[in-house]
Amino acid sequence: SPPAAARDTASGTAGGTAAGSADGTPATPDTGAASPVTRTASESAARPLSGKVVVIDPGHNGGNFRHTREINRQVNILTQKKACDTTGTSTNDGYTEAAFTWDVSNRLARLLRGQGATVRLTRADNTGWGPCINQRAAIGNKAHADAAISIHGDGAAPGAHGFHVIMPKKIGGPVDPVVGDSQRLGRKVRDAFHNGTGLPYSTYIGRQALNYRSDLGGLNLSTVPKIFIECGNMRNAGEARRFRDAGFRQTIAESLAKGLKAYLTTR
């Protein structure tokens, strides 16, 4: 994203026989089907996020730059008024934050759906504009999400590097009841992201990759546990190179999925 000041998922027995039992009771034929108990346990292991709802917010949108009037419209985020949205940042060779977040978000959505979660993204493509930051929060609220995550890439000075997670503060507003859960979500994602990607904690903002803010509409207006993650600095040559690699973007998505699962299965 732009610099911090601007930024705004019957127990049968296998092996039965056709012969009767010793007391003459006919034995239950072995159909080869798993017992209900075994099947339920197996399904639970394969789909640990069944019943969970996750909202993924891919930061910005690929067509925002064509709609400057619309995205510059001011919206109320309770602590101040801010632009509806921004264009986001890019690598020095033109790989946009909007494209990066769209790709990572769809990879993450597939992983979470594969584990049984219901997933909704806040935008349907990377060619339109918006939605506004207040609408992005409203999508998570309306879905009654168990967790929401907004995915970004930062646009800091080239020498700065590393990732950080942004969590809400209490503001006397709708986010207050979920600040504690958001912080737990943030720490789970921080740990999984660090371990999975090998990216360092941010060298330029936050403490141990954790940052708390009250000036982001997507957090202030959320009534569900929500965090932002700045996956790294797109203006840093090393991190930009890694973000351009599809394999590494898959690693990012897998790491985020592990963090979300850790939070959703231990609430």
* Active-site residue list: 230
Q: Among 179, 246, 236, which residue's Cα sits nearest to residue 202? A: 236
Q: What gap in Å lies between CA 17 and CA 14, rounded to an integer?
A: 9
Q: What does the block give as tokens for 162?
A: 């590393």
- Note whether 81 and 74 are within 8 A (CB): yes
Length of the chain counted residue by residue: 267
Q: Among 80, 97, 98, 84, which residue's Cα sits nearest to residue 220? A: 80
CA-only gyration radius of the chain, Å: 22
Q: What does the block give as tokens for 67?
A: 């709609």
Q: What does the block give as tokens for 100?
A: 């990066």
